[in-house]
Structure 1
Amino acid sequence: MPQMMALVLILLILYIGDIVATRTKAWIPSVFVCAVLFLAGYWTFFPKDIVARAGIPQVVAVMLMYLLITNMGTLLSVKELLKQWKTILISLAGILGIIIVCGIIGYVLFDKNTVIVAIPPLVGGIVSAIIMSGGAQEAGLPTLAVFAIIIYVMQGFAGYPLTSIMLKREGRKVLEKYRAGQWEESLDGSKGEKSEAVAAIEENAMPKMFSKVPAAYNTEYFQFLRLAFVGFLAYLTSKALEPIVAVSPFVLCLLYGVIASSVGFLERHPLKKANGFGFAVMGLMLFIFDTLNRATPEMLLDLVTPLIVLIISAVIGMFIFAVVVGKVLKVSLEMAFSIALTALYGFPADYIITNEVINSLTQDETERRVLTSHMLAPMLIGGFISVTMVSVVLAGIMVGMIVPVVG
């Protein structure tokens, strides 16, 4: 198959996934549609290396992971995290619920490796799924390598509709209080001003360290250079720590991204400003679907039971723990559960779903601001904490717990 034909085919699949997700308002996740089409292709006429043929071999995907995870770190700030402390506690409670309930049920019904491989993708998204899939493959467990990807693909079926339902219920209650003149404030104490978490998505300012550099010199190459340099520092640190403790360079990319944006070396969302975010996500998504070339119909049938059981267990666990902590912190059941559910998809789905819900509830601009102030920042921070931070750290730890196949 020629390179450009391979590229056209796989991009067509990604676009079909987007169309279906848009038409169904994300009730059918795009990643599910793409996964089904890739499987159909692999089981018929796709070459097993179609993604590499199209131009995204493993070495390119690893480079994109360095850039994307460092970019994730720039979306966080210590100041915003302190303001959203209730959100952080609820998100961490939901994650703890996933670990405990999935751990208990999983260890009773399945083997240790299945549970270990499943938990980080359930807590996070694409990056943790790739880390666990790679770890399982290296340990001689190709079925579980596919399982990590399948969980990432399927968990949106639980996350998207439940979040939409919960946020709509929460939004209606907020509007009812606002219209009756009884509305007070949001989780972080704000009364309608734009959150720093929201500003991180929209901000275009030059980083502080380069504030005196003319804007004309802040080219896309300069933005890529600084992002790659931070990723390189994370790699060097990981190698330096190797004799003492094994720390994933991707975990350090996240930490260094936070530090680099805080000190003004990187701007917020530099990949987007360098016009590279879309391409980076595309490359990583293709790398994810490339893992499915090892999946057989028999393998998928074997994975159906643990897939359903562990996703349901995760939802139950996050519900119980997040709602209990939310009640203690005087956060509504709906808002607490919605924050916890961001673990199943993260950014940008949390941003998109919240805005869709707000737009469906009211057309009044003032009411939209009230709902945005109340719901959007907690949803973004919830996704950042679970998917961006904890899941990557958790995957970095748990990948070392996989028991390799001997012989």
Structure 2
Amino acid sequence: MSPVTATLIILAIITVGEVVSIRSRAKIPTLLVVMIGFFVLIQTGVLPTNIIEASTFAIVGAVLQPALLVHMGTLIPMKVMKSQYKAVLITLIGLVFSVAFILLIVPPIFGYSTGVAGAGPLTGGLIAYLVTAEALQKAGLVSLLAIPIIVLTLQGLVGMPLTSILLRKHGLKIRTAMEGRTMTAAATAAEALPPANLLDEEQSEEKPRRQLIPERYQQSSFILLFLVFVGGAIAVGLENLTGVSYSLFGLVIGITGAYFGIYPAKVLEKANGFSIAMLGLIFIVTGSLVGITIADITAVLPAVATIIVVGTIGLIVGGTIGSKIFKWDPAKGISVTLTAMYGFPGDYLICEEVSRSIGRTKEEEEAILNEILPPMLIGGFTSVTIGSVIIASILVQTI
């Protein structure tokens, strides 16, 4: 099979997943459709087991992975982090409790490595999975590879319905407060920003402390790609020197580089390379299913179910405690922590649906959306983009 044909077939599966996700308004994640579709086609012999290798596209994902981590460090401007610090801290508290619960309850039953295999992916997305999967392979724990990928594909089916229920409760409280005229302008706008482009507006207003790379050079995609690859190469080099995962160094380099003007915000998107990088990662994740059998999946389902349930309870407990500390409505705080299970665009779509279904007028709808969307977006970015990568990178060192 030619590389072009193999790539086209995998792209077709991904496209079906995207269509299903769009039609279901992200209730059915793209990755879930892709994983199930690819697994069934491989198991039934419709697709050859070497199709990912034949496409050669997974190599693109492997090469761009360090660069993607640098890019992730440029996603959240410092100004947004400061204005939404409560959402950031509540999210981090939720992540800590989730991981703690998993590592306390899962290892005595299924083993420590099993707990680690599920903890990183439960608190984040693709990058956390890749960090975990790579470490499991290096440690010779290939039999556990099914755990992180199943956790990654199923966690949103638990997190999204729970979030929707809780945000509806919070939305009703906002509506009731508006009816009683007890919601002040500060309460409705203290943390609210225009919902459609929260991060973009913040990034356009925030200027780096020092513009180390002149802005005129940051207009070139080639220069930006070079700078991102420099950051990724430094991260990999530091891993070789220290033994600490390059994912951590990549995030730090991205955050620092954006702060001092070496990188613009969302650097890979500006360099027109983000979609290709993400596509390469999906090819890597999909390829990891090739060696997994139905028996492997059946064997780990009890562990996966335990990890998802225990991890979700940990997020809820952490969100409740964080809400009490910062005097938030627990329904809002828990919802913010649950974004770790699905991230963007699920968080945006849930907020949009809740505000539309709760608000009876345009004024109520906008007030509810402006209240719940900013912390939900920041919670998702904090957990999926940064928190989960740090957690996975640290945990895998202990296997």
Taking structure 1 as the reference length, the TM-score comes to 0.88
Structure 2 equivalent of residue 82 of structure 1: 82
Gaps of 5+ in 2: none
The alignment yields a C-alpha RMSD, in angstroms, of 2.7
Q: CA 1:138–1:364 in 2, change beyond 3 Å: closer, same or farther? A: same
CA gap 1:228/1:358 in 2 versus in 1, 3 angstroms: farther
2:236 maps to amino acid: Y
Deviations 1:370-390 (A, max 9, x none): 334322221122122222222
Alpha-carbon distance, 1:368 to partner:
4.7
Distance apart, 1:127 and its partner CA = 0.7
Contact 1:122 1:344 in 2 (8 A): yes
Larger CA deviation: 361-370 vs 308-317: 361-370
Residue 362 (structure 1) shift: 4.2
1:332 to 329, 334, 337: 329
Would the alpha carbon gap of residues 361 and 51 (structure 1) be closer, same or farther in structure 2, given more than 3 Å must change? farther
Structure 2 residue identity aligned to 1:20: V
Deviations 1:260-315 (A, max 9, x none): 11111111112222222222212211211110101101111101111111101111
Partner of 2:159: 159
**Of residues 370, 392, 395 in structure 1, which corresponds to 2:392?**
395
Whether 1:312 aligns to 2:313 is no
Shift of 1:147: 1.5
Q: In the aligned structure 2, how far is the partner of 1:235 from the partner of 1:263?
A: 21
Contact 1:342–1:382 at 8 Å: present in 2 too? yes
Change (3 A) 1:211 1:185: farther
What SS does the aligned partner of 2:288 have? helix
Residue 280 of structure 1 is matched in structure 2 by 277
1:267 aligns with 2:264: yes
Tell me which residue corresponds to 2:130: 130
State the AA in 1 paired with 2:342: Y
Per-residue Cα deviation, 1:217-269 (whole angstroms, up to 9, x for no partner): 712222222222222232333334x2xxx221111111111111111111111
Aligned partners of 2:212 and 2:305: how far apart in 1?
50
State the shift of 1:360 in Å: 4.3
What do the CA deviations read for 1:125-175 (whole angstroms, capped 9, x no partner)?
Answer: 111111111111122221212211111111111112222222232223223
Report 1:62-211 matches (<5 A).
62-184=62-184, 190=190, 192-194=192-194, 198-200=198-200, 203=203, 209=211
Contact 2:88 2:379 in 1 (8 A): yes
Aligned residues of 1:69 and 1:254 also touching (Cα < 8 A): yes
Q: Identity over the aligned pairs, expressed in percent?
A: 28
Moved more, 80-89 or 181-190: 181-190
Q: Paired residue for 1:229?
A: 230
In the alignment, the residues of structure 2 paired with residue 109 and residue 258 of structure 1 have an alpha-carbon distance, to the nearest angstrom, of 39
> Match of 2:294?
297
Correspondence 1:8-23 to 2 at 5 A: 8-23=8-23
Distance 1:82 1:205 in 2: 14
For 1:33 and 1:207, locate their aligned partners in 2 and report how far apart those are by CA, in whole Å: 40
Equivalent position of 1:39 in the other structure: 39
Answer yes or no: is the 8 Å Cα contact 1:120–1:394 preserved in 2. yes
Contact 1:6 1:50 in 2 (8 A): yes
The equivalent residue for 1:378 is 375
Does residue 51 (structure 1) correspond to residue 52 (structure 2)? The answer is yes
Distance 1:54 1:352 in 2: 33
TM-score when normalising by structure 2: 0.90
User: How many positions carry a matched residue from both structures?
Assistant: 396
Note closer, same or farther for the CA distance 1:327–1:222 as it changes in structure 2 (3 Å cut).
Answer: same
Q: Which amino acid aligns with 1:103?
A: L
CA distance in 1, matches of 2:110, 2:296: 15
**Greater CA drift, 310-319 or 87-96:** 87-96
- Aligned to 1:357, which of 354, 357, 366? 354
Q: Distance in 2 between matches of 1:158 and 1:102?
A: 16
One-letter amino acid matched to 2:393: G
Compared CA separation, residues 368 and 219, structure 1 to 2 (3 A): farther
Residues 75 and 155 (structure 1), Cα distance of their counterparts in 2 relative to 1, 3 Å cut: same
Q: Residues of 1 paired with 2:398 and 2:64: CA distance?
A: 25
Partners of 2:221 and 2:271 within 8 A in 1? yes
Partner Cα separation in structure 1 for residue 250 and residue 222 of structure 2: 19
CA shift in 2, pair 1:110/1:206, >3 Å: closer
**1:10 shift after superposition:** 0.9
Kindly indicate whether residue 10 of structure 2 is the aligned counterpart of residue 7 of structure 1: no
SS in 2 for 1:293: coil
What runs of 5+ residues in structure 1 fail to find an aligned partner?
A: 403-407
